[in-house]
Amino acid sequence: MALEDHPGSLVVVTNREPYIDEKTNQGIRRLQSAGGVVSALDPLLQRSGGAWVAWGSGSADRETAPRGIRMVPPNQPKYPLHRVFLSPEEIAGYYNRYSNQGLWPLSHMLIERAQFSREAFHLYRRVNQKFARRVAQMAPRNGSIFSHDYHLALFPRMIRELRPDVAVAHFWHIPWPPFTLFRLCPQHQEITRGLLGADILGFQTPQDVDNFLTAVERGLKIPVDRAQGIIQVGTHRVTVRDYPISVDITAIEQMVKTPRIQRWTEGIRKRALKHGVSLAISVDRADYTKGLLQRLEAIDKFFARYPEHHRRITFLQVVVPTRTEVREYRRLYDQFVDASARLNNKYGDAAWTPLIHIRRSIDRPRLMGLFRAAEYALVSSLFDGMNLVAKEFISAQIDNRGVLLLSDMAGAAQELGEAFHFNPLDPDEVAEQLHRAALTTSADRARRIESMREHIHHHTIYDWIAHIVEALDEVADTYAAR
């Protein structure tokens, strides 16, 4: 049965909220989260009238949400956003420490960065419990819950205990590490068991599914049916599958075709042409998993080994500072700025800047216009659940002229076989692939881009949602029939 047949039955649960209210000198400013997941789930809830539950992180969030509920979108209210408010201690323990300094680096296999403590876990559990209690109070009878990511790993089990009548799908957006590594998390059993509270458990790639099933078998000693991706925990059945996330390619195509964005793209192209350079773009949050410093090393290698590309290619790096409350993130950003300056001093001259660095976030339509204007995109994550930037770049390439250079370690590499792949820790290989990409014919570029565009057209963010929600609906129906 389709979600449309049960208006109001879906509750989306995420750490980050879709609409944030911030206090400014000019009054309250409303911000909308621009991420791919929000922009796909928000219209769904607007249509089907469900609800969203998330941490109320904005400085004016309490003010604009009497009794913790804000109707959104603010201009045309369609569904309730339930805000879960956290104390500074909870934010530090649940968000900055356990989630971002523990589970995040460990899931990306960067073990020396991972820090765990019982105290942080205690706060992580407490916040997951807060979310579960809140959802338990408001979820409709036999409703469906779609919860997300590593911040809320304990939530599925907690909500199942409180509300056995609801169907739960949980999606894990980041990689799931091999068990030999995952067991380093002191609470690995609780984390795995927490997720097993879901009915549908989604990961980005078959490899992540495989690693998770091993964690269940070896960490919890629960048998799994690998062929079907099914785990039976007592009377509860969990279906584990890969659901690779994607983008709204049609919306991106339309975005880059609007007159405003066409003019912006033309302006960028003209400026590049005037300087005789092609643009190679990278866009990331300033996160160590994105391989920013390794990328600069590879660019250095590229210019050192292939001087014929001097004054021919300019790397444009949009780096958005992120998680700045965590010291390591601030340090990474500073290191990136220093390394960029060194690179520019080494190779640049009055007429040519090898690497231009944009620090601020660019609005989404312009970013897509930039993707269209660029001739290359360089995505060099050390590990990445999927990497939506890679798919957005391909989606924006409506002229079929760009080349995607993509790390083997991004989930997207499994689907985008026509990209130029490389090992992000091998600067020589990245340099060689950049050189190869620069020499490729326009016919070859067009063939590659077209094939990847076709793939994305058949695997959009809406297909992703539909597959998960359909699976969830089936479970909800069996619960309702009980």
Which stretches of the chain bind ligand GDG, using CB under 6 A? 34-36, 173-174, 245, 283, 285, 318, 320, 361-364, 367, 384-389, 392
In whole angstroms, the minimum distance from the beta carbon of 283 to ligand GDG comes to 5
73 upstream amide cis, omega within 30 of 0: yes
Which CB, 174 or 434, lies closer to ligand GDG?
174
Tell the residue number behind the tokens 């989930």, with chain if given: 411
Cα distances from 1 to residues 143, 454, 469, 473, 478, in angstroms, run 13, 29, 10, 6, 11
Which position has the token pair 């302006």? 267
Q: Which is nearer to ligand GDG, 9 or 205 (CB)?
A: 205
Comparison of 58 and 202: residue with beta carbon closer to ligand GDG = 202
Choose among 49, 57, 97, 95: nearest CA to 73.
49
Identity of the residue, 138 or 358, whose beta carbon is nearer to ligand GDG in the bound complex? 358
Q: Distance between CA 145 and CA 7 in Å, rounded? A: 13
Q: Please check whether residue 159 is in contact with residue 144, taking contact to mean a CB–CB distance below 8 angstroms.
A: no
Least distance between ligand GDG and beta carbon 385 (Å): 3
Neighbours of 337 (CB within 10 A): 13
| Residue 174 Cβ vs ligand GDG, minimum distance, rounded to whole Å | 5
Least distance from ligand GDG to the Cβ atom of residue 88, Å = 24
User: Least CB distance from residue 89 to ligand GDG, whole Å?
Assistant: 26
Element (H, E) at 231: strand 230-233
Task: Compute the distance between CA of residue 43 and CA of residue 169 in angstroms, rounded to an integer.
Answer: 19
For ligand GDG, the closer of residues 112 and 363 by Cβ is: 363
Nearer to ligand GDG, 285 or 447 (CB): 285
Contact 393, 404 (CB under 8 A): yes
Closest approach of ligand GDG to the CB of residue 252, in Å: 10
CB of 64 to ligand GDG, least distance (A): 23
Tokens of 185: 């998390």
Q: Which is nearer to ligand GDG, 46 or 361 (CB)?
A: 361
Name the amino acid, one letter, at 32: Q
Rounded CA-CA distance 107/179 in Å is 10
Task: Please give the radius of gyration of the chain, using alpha carbons only, rounded to the nearest integer.
Answer: 23
What is the nearest approach in angstroms of ligand GDG to the Cβ of residue 377? 11
Give least dist CB 175 to ligand GDG, A: 8
Q: DSSP states of 111-165 as a string?
A: GGG----HHHHHHHHHHHHHHHHHHHHHSPTT-EEEEESGGGTTHHHHHHHH-TT
Q: Report the DSSP pairing between strands 278-285 and 313-320.
A: parallel
Nearer to ligand GDG, 224 or 468 (CB): 468
Nearest residue (CB) to ligand GDG, 149 versus 418: 149
Cβ neighbours for 70, distance < 8 A, ≥ 6 positions apart: 19, 21, 61, 64, 80, 81, 83
CB of 317 to ligand GDG, least distance (A): 11
Residue 388 or 476 with smaller CB distance to ligand GDG? 388
Beta strands in 292-424 (DSSP E): 313-320, 355-358, 376-379, 403-407, 420-422
